[in-house]
Copies of this chain bind each other. A is one copy, B any other.
Amino acid sequence: MVGDDPKIVIVGGGFGGLWAASALANKPVSVTLIDRKNHHVFQPLLYQVATSVLSPGEIAQPLRRILNDAKNVDVLLGEVTDFDKENSAVKLEDGSKVEYDYLIVAAGARHSYFGHNDWETSAPGLKTLEDAVEMRRRILLAFELAERQAYLEGEHRPLNFVVVGGGPTGVELAGAIADIARQALAKDFKKIDTRKTKVILFEGSDRVLGTFTPDLTDSAKKQLEDLGVEVRLNSFVTDIAPGKVKVGEDWIECDVVLWATGVAASPLGTRLVAETDKAGRVFVEPDLSLKDHKNIFVIGDMASIRQEDGTPVPGVSPAAMQMGTATAKNILAEIKGKPRTKFKYVDKGSMATIGRSKAIADVFGMKLTGFVAWMFWLFLHVFFLIGFRNRFAVIFEWFWAYLTRERSARLITGDAAELRNALLFLEGEEAVKILDERSERNKAGRSAT
């Protein structure tokens, strides 16, 4: 701690919190950044870990490494569980407290299951490195188990992947799975034809990537279909069970279901005893502070705030970064006796990737599709990847994957019981019966021999 400098506590090391900490680095304040994890994750590339293009280490960096030159910033591994606003302190999971003069809450969001949290086991979402590794495990295991079934029984159930939600994450996942099934995995599997893999993308509205203009979303749908993805619009998933999803009234069998829709802000919003919207986002003042608590700011995916034209600031990483920087500036201004300024979101355009050489972009007033949009996306993402080493490794991985159509991070890790569990999970509860029957059949066959 640097003497009597104002003490700023930041909760969360995502884009919002990290950008705030960076803007406060080596200023006359004492900063503590608290996160449950020791690393910052570059979330826009999580889907590439889930589809085994990149390794976890390539899109994550230890927070204290990123901030090691900031002499006034402490990084603390801990889980904030509550706030003591009266005494200006945050509570950690073991009951200890950290006091603040200013508090910046940037704990982000997770996916929401619209009240069906029990679906999570069958249909994992994608917010953390652990989520991504779990998705990777399931995707790769599905192919392994189909190969195994084909080897042992001569044929295998059709390989079906379902992605729920046609936003950026859903589109990226669906495109990437279709891509690895048709390219990277095809020659490694000898008993199954991975190119026959079916990838179905369910979207509730009448368009994928609904935040883009209709001409771009039409292109996105076409690019997805070129990759072999079946896009089903106006389709609501109404139930999920092991090995199947219900769409409208029909149950559809599938090996893997991936969840890519719904947003629920961190439950810490409620702990602030503040007004929140339906997704749990905290309504904030124009300077991102909490009503009646001017020294508490809520930023990033946890904040609900509208732009001047009345539209909400979107829950995207550029918005979180801008909020982090703006909040840091307001605090530094106030310390110097200057007034705060209102937060103004600057939309620098948006882009979404669909697969190899496939993307859409709406940037600098230009609407781009296909290879050009993809190059834009590639360049920007590498540019923003934190840390030179990661940047270099990612470029190399991508270049390698592009040239060879290989996927290098194809590891299935997990505990020793993974296979048994996977068999149970992937083939659903009925499959347990099938498996048991098969093993009985085998035993019977053997003893008859």
Contact = CB atoms under 8 A, between A and B. Distances in A.
B415 A389 contact: no
The residue in A75, A133, A410, A411 that gathers the most chain B C-beta atoms within 10 A of its C-beta is A411
A390 B37 CA distance: 27
A438 B188 contact: no
A320 B68 CA distance: 45
Nearest to A440: B95
A75 to B, nearest CB: 8
B95 A443 contact: yes
Interface in A42-75: 55-58, 60, 62, 64-65, 68, 71, 74-75
Q: Is the interface of A mostly helix, strand, loop or mixed?
A: mixed
Contact of A76 (B57, B96, B151, B420): B151
B411 A62 contact: yes
Given A60-B411, A190-B74, A95 B442 contact: yes
A68 B57 CA distance: 27
Contact of A191 (B74, B411, B443): B74
A406 B389 contact: yes
A409 interface: yes
Given A148-B77, A412-B37, A68 B188 contact: yes
A413 B133 contact: yes
Interface in A264-315: none
A64 B446 contact: no
A230 interface: no
A152 B392 contact: no
Q: How many copies does the complex hold?
A: 2
Nearest to A73: B190
Contact of A144 (B38, B144, B412, B419): B38
Given A36-B419, A412-B38, A147 B76 contact: yes
A98 to B, nearest CB: 8
A402 interface: no
Contacts of A382: none
B130 A414 contact: yes
A212 B55 CA distance: 37
A117 interface: no
B57 A408 contact: yes
Interface in A361-416: 389-390, 392-393, 396, 400, 406, 408-416
A39 B413 CA distance: 9
Nearest to A77: B144
Interface in A188-208: 188-191
B74 A151 contact: yes
A38 B140 contact: yes
6 contacts: A38-B410, A55-B55, A71-B190, A94-B420, A130-B413, A130-B415
Interface of A: 32, 36-39, 55-58, 60, 62, 64-65, 68, 71, 74-79, 84, 87, 89, 93-98, 129-130, 133, 140-141, 144-145, 147-148, 151-152, 187-191, 389-390, 392-393, 396, 400, 406, 408-416, 419-420, 423, 435, 438-440, 442-443, 446, 449
6 tightest CB-CB pairs across the interface, nearest first? A95-B439, A55-B57, A77-B144, A64-B188, A57-B409, A38-B412
